[in-house]
Amino acid sequence: MENWIPFVQKCDDEGVETITTKDQLETEQLIEEREKNNFRVLRNNHRDYFLQLISGLPPAMSKLCSEEPWIPYWFLNSMHVLNLDKIPNFQFYEQSCINYINKRKSSKGGYASAPSQRGHIVLGYVSINSIALSQKVSNYETIDRKAVYEWIMSLKQPNGSFASESGCEADSRSTYCAICIAYLLDILTEELTANVAEFLVNCQGTDGGFAPIPGCESHGGYGFCSVAALDMLGRLSDIRLDHAIRWVAERQMPFSGGFNGRPCKLVDTCYTWWCGAMGRILADFAGIDDFWNDEALATYVLQVCQSNDGKGGCCDKPGKRPDMYHTMYGLTGLSAASRKIIKEKTGFELCEVDARVGIEKIAVDEMKEYFSKIPFSI
């Protein structure tokens, strides 16, 4: 996609229509008909969008009651990546979010969707990331490292993976979340990391991508989780690197410029992060130039998926409503995969995101430095 021309190279079904080709051509038609934004980050629109939502969620979002810590995380991370963390009253919103999250701490060391519920490793990941974003020692001190460590170890499986919670799925996503928490809190002990890399390496398929567990279909989200966790463990050299790079490169769609998550699937803004960050980690590790078209990727997110009605937010694809999830992952993905070209073309610079953790790099560095100075023993 080196010489990409926007919205030209359409899907060719070769005269054999299938559900897959029909959906693809319909999506391309929607993209083609979409009134395009200019190539710029609509920062103020996104600011207003997030401030309105965090001040009072619509009833439709009640379906997220089992995943509540995601909501403050989407808000905080988006505001930071847009460099909006210095606006008036942001500190009030940020601390309110941290207080909200801390009320959802489990008695056994994890973080849950509501007070007094069992901890879930994914909610632990977003909660620790949110606390890291605050860059405040007073918030770091709310974390009981020993309790978190014991909770993570209670989820460890014989094959090296970690379960999301007791008795639930154990795959590369839940394993990534466990490793990321331990990485930030400086509790990556030999006991905790035993056989983890081996499990993740075995998730790589013959196509070069990574599955949730060995032998399943490769997927962009699980690919990111495996690659990011292996990089934090210092074991990324164990994978078939060239195959992984090719798999990510093949995820960029020739018509839209965005990424899909699997072969023969539709473009989706969230894969700007899952595949874009995976690509960033692989390129940095291999010491090579970006092997995706960063301008094409940014074009899809900025011109096609940013709301063009002045209300802010990003959608999955044309025909879908904007939401906090796709907005945050679209913006953080652009930071990981298209930050340079956006600055060159618009003058605006997204904050630098740590592609392994998913939040502002300085926040990662500060939390790691803080906990590295505090002795930890099992």
Of the residues 222, 271, 300, 329, which is catalytic? Answer: 271
Looking at 52-56, 79-83, 171-175, which range is the least confident one?
52-56
- Number of Cβ atoms within 10 Å of the Cβ of 307: 18
Distant-in-sequence, close-in-space partners of 46: CB < 8 Å, separation ≥ 6 = 78, 82, 312, 313, 327, 331
Instruction: State mean pLDDT over 28-42.
Output: 93
Flag whether 378 is in a domain. Answer: no
Copy the structure tokens of residue 299.
């074009």
Q: CATH no. for residue 332?
A: 1.50.10.20
Of the residues 104, 120, 173, 219, which is catalytic? Answer: 219
Q: How many domains does the chain have?
A: 1
Would residue 103 show up in a list of annotated catalytic residues for this protein? Answer: no
CA–CA separation, 345 and 343 (whole Å): 6
360 residue type, one letter: E
Instruction: State mean pLDDT over 178-197.
Output: 98
Of the residues 171, 186, 231, 316, which is catalytic? Answer: 316
SS3 annotation, the chain: CCCCCCCCCCCCCCCCCCHHHHHHHHHHHHHHHCCCCCCCCCHHHHHHHHHHHHHCCCHHHHHHHHHCCHHHHHHHHHHHHCCCCCCCCHHHHHHHHHHHHHCCECCCCCECCCCCCCCCHHHHHHHHHHHHHHCCHHHHCCCCHHHHHHHHHHCECCCCCEECCCCCCECHHHHHHHHHHHHHHCCCCHHHHCCHHHHHHCCECCCCCECCCCCCCCCHHHHHHHHHHHHHHCCHHHCCHHHHHHHHHCCECCCCCCECCCCCCCCCCCHHHHHHHHHHHHHHHHCCCCCCCHHHHHHHHHHHHECCCCCCCECCCCCCCCEHHHHHHHHHHHHHHCHHHHHHHHCCCCCCECCCCCCEHHHHHHHHHHHHCCCCCC
Would residue 180 show up in a list of annotated catalytic residues for this protein? Answer: no
Q: What is the largest CA-CA distance in the chain?
A: 66
Q: What is the pLDDT of residue 67?
A: 81
Of the residues 186, 231, 294, 323, which is catalytic? Answer: 323
Would residue 168 show up in a list of annotated catalytic residues for this protein? Answer: no
pLDDT at 209 over 90: yes
Q: What is the pLDDT of residue 284?
A: 98
Q: What is the pLDDT of residue 101?
A: 96
Answer yes or no: are the C-beta atoms of 217 and 208 closer than 8 Å. Answer: no
Q: What is the pLDDT of residue 235?
A: 98
pTM summary value: 0.96
Residue 209 to residues 106, 264, 275, 340, Cα–Cα distance (Å): 35, 14, 11, 26
Flag whether 83 is in a domain. Answer: yes
Among residues 273, 291, 293, 233, which one has the least CA distance to residue 353? 273
Instruction: State mean pLDDT over 336-343.
Output: 98
Residue 253 — pLDDT band, cuts 50, 70, 90?
very high
Distant-in-sequence, close-in-space partners of 65: CB < 8 Å, separation ≥ 6 = 113, 114
Flag whether 248 is in a domain. Answer: yes
pLDDT at 1 over 70: no
Flag whether 47 is in a domain. Answer: yes
Would residue 225 show up in a list of annotated catalytic residues for this protein? Answer: no
Radius of gyration, CA atoms only, the chain: 20
Structural domain including 158 reads: 37-53+65-372
Looking at 107-111, 124-128, 318-322, 371-375, which range is the least confident one?
107-111
Q: What is the pLDDT of residue 56?
A: 86
Looking at 115-119, 157-161, 203-207, 260-264, which range is the least confident one?
115-119
Flag whether 343 is in a domain. Answer: yes
Of the residues 156, 280, 326, 356, which is catalytic? Answer: 326
Instruction: State mean pLDDT over 297-309.
Output: 95
pLDDT at 58 over 80: no
Instruction: State mean pLDDT over 258-270.
Output: 97
Looking at the DSSP assignment, which residues form a beta bridge with residue 259? 252
Flag whether 359 is in a domain. Answer: yes
Of the residues 85, 268, 294, 354, which is catalytic? Answer: 268
For residues 196-226, one letter each, b for 16 or more C-beta atoms within 10 angstroms of the residue's C-beta and e for the rest, the string is bbebbbbbbbebbbbbbbbeeebbbbbbbbb
Instruction: State mean pLDDT over 129-150.
Output: 98
Would residue 326 show up in a list of annotated catalytic residues for this protein? Answer: yes
Would residue 46 show up in a list of annotated catalytic residues for this protein? Answer: no
CA–CA separation, 367 and 54 (whole Å): 25
Flag whether 229 is in a domain. Answer: yes
Of the residues 40, 235, 240, 262, which is catalytic? Answer: 262
Flag whether 121 is in a domain. Answer: yes
Mean pLDDT for the chain overall: 95
pLDDT > 70: percent of the chain: 99
Tens digits of per-residue pLDDT, 274-301? 999 999 999 999 999 999 999 999 999 9
N- to C-terminal Cα separation, the chain: 50
Would residue 262 show up in a list of annotated catalytic residues for this protein? Answer: yes
